[in-house]
Structure 1
Amino acid sequence: MPKDAAVEEFARLVRALKARDGRSYEALGRRLSVSASTLHRYCSGATVPEEFAVVDRLALLCGADEEERRALAAAWTEADRARRRAAPPAPMSAPTSVPPPVPTPVPSAPEPSPDPEPTAPKPTPAPEAPLPRPRRTPSLPAPLLVAGAVVLVVLALAAALLGRPSRTPSAPAPSPQREQPVPFTWAVGSQLWQGGCGHTYLVDRAPRAVAPPPVAADAGAWAGAHGAVHGGETLVRVTLQGRSPSTAVVLHALHVRVVGRAAPPPWNAYRTGSGCGGAVTLRHFAVDLDRPRPLARPVDGRDASGEEPRTIPAVSFPYKVTASDPEELLVSARTAGCDCRWYLELEWSSGDRSGTVRITDGGKPFRTSGTAGRPAYAFDTVEGRWITDAESGQSG
């Protein structure tokens, strides 16, 4: 098979996968850790990826079966061979000529210096007048001299203890080095609802003192005004983006750190919505805060909006982000019997640098509390008030 035909066959299969999925180059590239332009070059045949792994992830993302993945692997193998055969050989550098040695000039004999001109004899200085004798100062007795020396030593020690600056010149203190900023930015959203439809809050107020439930966009202001705590679950969205367009940041791991555990407060539970079933379940990291050492466990998403449901692969580390290819990490932390305070730690590396960033709720730990046994209320839009589940059943 000619090399251009092998590349075109591979590109045709990649285009078919992209067309089946229906998402844009940018949306698919973000999930594959490649730019939209790179994925477009794969589909057009302008570029063949050096590794099959990125194409295999595309196949899984687009719902390809085992037979389609084997055909794609065979097409990539032929296209990769064609790419290697078509690669031009590295140019050989021409030999450099050695310049002829430069002759060292022979220094000429120095010219004789002219005879010095005769100088006039110096005049004999006149005899100086005798200096006046210094007036003799009467000497102090030896005991006074010793006492004065002791006083000077005591004063010097006192100055040292009081931290007076020394008169002896010293080298200036080195200026502190400025730390380099982390090579990526991140933003945190912690007032999220499942599917944007509803959420449960614990509030230390009677129903008549609680305002009607807000829309999802105003959840942060409503929760802050009522001193509300996430009931049962906290959803955290972390948006990450590299600072430099030419330098990638590799994310290696996501850790959960619990800094406080207590019994859930005896507050009322208020549900802001009845929930709604969505056709798309987002991929996320599930955290069980009731475990002694909670872990961030990656969970696949599910898209049931098409004729056949398909799986959205979970984020697996290591994961790469750049300035043009940001990423969102969704964390679902749940508890049944704990008033937990916790935060996240994200390990990263970029070039020869590495580190860990702490992700918090505006500088404070996230807080999630269980709701078991707490009075639960839902809002009755007809009567315009919060009612219990029992009242809701009687009214129905």
Structure 2
Amino acid sequence: MGTEIQDFAAELSGLKERSGLSYGALARKLHMSTSTVHRYCNGDAVPQDYAPVERFARVCRASADELVGLHRKWILADEAKRRGARKAGAGGTAEPGSVPEESTETESGPEVEDVTPSEASGTTTSAAPAPGRRPSRRLRVLLAATAVVALTVPAALAFRGLTDGNGGDGRRTGAATGTAPVTPSGSGSGTGSASATPSRPASPSAGGSATAGPSASASPGSPARQGGGADDRGTPVSAVISSYNWESPCGQYYLLDREPGTVPKPPPPQDTRNWARALGGVDGGDMMLELTLQGASQEAVVLKGLHVRVVGREPALAWTAYSMGEGCGSGITPQSFDIDLDESLPRSHPVAGQDGGGVVPAKDFPYRVSSTDVEVFHLDAHVEGHDVTWYLELEWSSGGRSGSLRIDDNGKPFRTSSIQGRPEYRYRADTAQWVEPDY
């Protein structure tokens, strides 16, 4: 086990011991299995997302300074885990803790085939930098921004009434899994690829994809050099989807074309997306994405706008809605943007929100980021009457250059369908069955 993973596990174990909670009690509060909490605390597994780590720390009453320190240790442990995975892929032996978090044992996991996102997202298919270079750059950038991220006030974008529109030019995308930042390279396809070659995005099937994870592609506005490829400096901003449900587990639904008696019990919150994908599910009602944007250097990057590109719009799926949360409390209502695509010229309309009981003034684009100045957006993309496939396009400019960064679902458009009027079920652990809510 790497020292970084040991340090991270020791920090979690210390918080757990100080809280006075047993493994079982802590697991119930975190909506995890007891074995998963054990594996985190003894270093057998490192969470793929930071969200469950933060929940763990807050349940254990960690201070603000402890949250910052824990975030830094998670970044180091996550990097050590990825190094172990790359060694294993090259024929070496992976050290403990280097397995993806989704592969850990859970007491409440579904009896379906595991569909863990590939850790091979760190590899590229063409013209990629040497494997040894990207991890160190990623690590330096993440460590530089750790304290900033911990103190950044989130912004939220609420996309209302997704309707039909221009499908965009569907640029080629590269995949990034979990919290790995999308750091575009000069050309080719892979983690954070930059490409000036347009291609239509693949249309998702009704059953959904069996893989999950964010992806982004860069489309520099400056002309490509002769012979193909983008500007040698690459795209100056990276994007990370660190959570697909930032209010977890409140309000998350999946539409499944299955009867309740054939649906296995829901897994812990960190595994719900893979669970739904394995069952052919589609995000229901809304999709809450946590998007972290960061510059690649000290040079400022101006974020000029975040655009929604609708690829397809169909009648809402006539499937059954299954809730992933029970007994949700009040959550944070962050700063939000309202987007009405029925307008002749749709744009984001800022609205004031709240953060921890305080009012967050509405703030419209532009935003500014660099390697030490990070923005976190909470995106609430929801739909009430249709089945919509869509993706995001972030417009940027820096040092005389400009372009756009495509943000999608592992190389495919996001897909969200309305749950209005659909049968709805919640899982009752005491009777081990899906039941209709009593309201």
TM normalised by structure 2 equals 0.46
Q: 2:334 matched to which residue of 1?
A: 282
Does 2:348 match 1:300? no
Does 2:361 match 1:313? yes
Amino acid corresponding to residue 240 of structure 2 in structure 1: A
User: Cα distance, 1:259 vs. partner?
Assistant: 1.4
Q: 1:109 matched to which residue of 2?
A: none
Q: 1:388 matched to which residue of 2?
A: 436
Q: 1:237 matched to which residue of 2?
A: 290
Determine the C-alpha separation between the residues in 1 that align with 2:313 and 2:277.
22
Q: 1:253 matched to which residue of 2?
A: 305
Q: 1:335 matched to which residue of 2?
A: 383
Determine the C-alpha separation between the residues in 2 that align with 1:292 and 1:206.
41
Match of 1:269 among 317, 321, 327: 321
Determine the C-alpha separation between the residues in 2 that align with 1:292 and 1:376.
35
Determine the C-alpha separation between the residues in 1 that align with 2:150 and 2:378.
18
User: Cα distance, 1:285 vs. partner?
Assistant: 3.4
Determine the C-alpha separation between the residues in 1 that align with 2:293 and 2:260.
39
Asked if 1 retains the 8 angstrom alpha-carbon contact of 2:248 and 2:325, the reply is: no
Check 1:372–1:197 CA distance in 2 against 1; reply closer, same or farther (3 A cut).
closer
Q: 1:97 matched to which residue of 2?
A: none
User: Cα distance, 1:333 vs. partner?
Assistant: 1.3
Does 2:394 match 1:346? yes
Asked if 1 retains the 8 angstrom alpha-carbon contact of 2:149 and 2:376, the reply is: no
Asked if 2 retains the 8 angstrom alpha-carbon contact of 1:288 and 1:334, the reply is: no
User: Cα distance, 1:286 vs. partner?
Assistant: 3.9
Amino acid corresponding to residue 325 of structure 2 in structure 1: G
Asked if 2 retains the 8 angstrom alpha-carbon contact of 1:193 and 1:199, the reply is: no
User: Cα distance, 1:368 vs. partner?
Assistant: 1.0
Determine the C-alpha separation between the residues in 1 that align with 2:373 and 2:388.
34
Structure 2 unaligned spans of 5+: 1-63, 69-146, 155-224
Structure 1, residues 165-195: CA drift from partner, whole Å, max 9, x if none? Answer: xxxxxxxxx9625422111211124621535
User: Cα distance, 1:30 vs. partner?
Assistant: 4.4
Q: How does 1:121-200 map to 2 (within 5 A)?
A: 176=227, 178-180=229-231, 181-189=234-242, 191-192=244-245, 194-200=247-253
Q: 1:87 matched to which residue of 2?
A: none
Please say which of residues 22-31 and 215-224 is displaced more in the overlay: 22-31
- Flag the structure with larger Rg: 1
Asked if 2 retains the 8 angstrom alpha-carbon contact of 1:205 and 1:267, the reply is: yes
User: Cα distance, 1:315 vs. partner?
Assistant: 4.0
User: Cα distance, 1:293 vs. partner?
Assistant: 7.0
Asked if 2 retains the 8 angstrom alpha-carbon contact of 1:197 and 1:216, the reply is: no
SS in 1 for 2:311: strand
Check 1:376–1:347 CA distance in 2 against 1; reply closer, same or farther (3 A cut).
same
SS in 1 for 2:239: strand
Q: 1:376 matched to which residue of 2?
A: 424
Determine the C-alpha separation between the residues in 2 that align with 1:348 and 1:318.
9
Determine the C-alpha separation between the residues in 2 that align with 1:184 and 1:201.
32
Amino acid corresponding to residue 312 of structure 2 in structure 1: G
User: Cα distance, 1:28 vs. partner?
Assistant: 9.2
Determine the C-alpha separation between the residues in 1 that align with 2:314 and 2:277.
21
Higher relative CO (Cα under 8 Å, sequence separation at least 6) belongs to 2
Amino acid corresponding to residue 230 of structure 1 in structure 2: D
Structure 1, residues 180-213: CA drift from partner, whole Å, max 9, x if none? Answer: 2111211124621535434111001111221212
User: Cα distance, 1:232 vs. partner?
Assistant: 1.0
Asked if 1 retains the 8 angstrom alpha-carbon contact of 2:249 and 2:324, the reply is: no
Determine the C-alpha separation between the residues in 2 that align with 1:243 and 1:193.
25
Check 1:250–1:219 CA distance in 2 against 1; reply closer, same or farther (3 A cut).
same
User: Cα distance, 1:237 vs. partner?
Assistant: 2.0
Asked if 2 retains the 8 angstrom alpha-carbon contact of 1:30 and 1:327, the reply is: yes
Asked if 2 retains the 8 angstrom alpha-carbon contact of 1:253 and 1:317, the reply is: yes
Please say which of residues 326-335 and 289-298 is displaced more in the overlay: 289-298
Structure 1, residues 92-126: CA drift from partner, whole Å, max 9, x if none? Answer: xxxxxxxxxxxxxxxxxxxxxxxxxxxxxxxxxxx
SS in 2 for 1:280: coil
Determine the C-alpha separation between the residues in 1 that align with 2:311 and 2:344.
12
User: Cα distance, 1:382 vs. partner?
Assistant: 1.1
Check 1:288–1:366 CA distance in 2 against 1; reply closer, same or farther (3 A cut).
farther
Q: State the aligned residue count.
A: 224
Determine the C-alpha separation between the residues in 1 that align with 2:341 and 2:385.
9
SS in 2 for 1:276: coil
User: Cα distance, 1:353 vs. partner?
Assistant: 0.3
Amino acid corresponding to residue 270 of structure 2 in structure 1: A
CA RMSD in angstroms, aligned pairs only: 2.9
SS in 1 for 2:261: helix
Asked if 2 retains the 8 angstrom alpha-carbon contact of 1:256 and 1:296, the reply is: no
Asked if 2 retains the 8 angstrom alpha-carbon contact of 1:262 and 1:338, the reply is: yes
Q: 2:268 matched to which residue of 1?
A: 215
Q: Percent identity?
A: 42
Determine the C-alpha separation between the residues in 1 that align with 2:150 and 2:283.
33
Asked if 2 retains the 8 angstrom alpha-carbon contact of 1:271 and 1:378, the reply is: yes
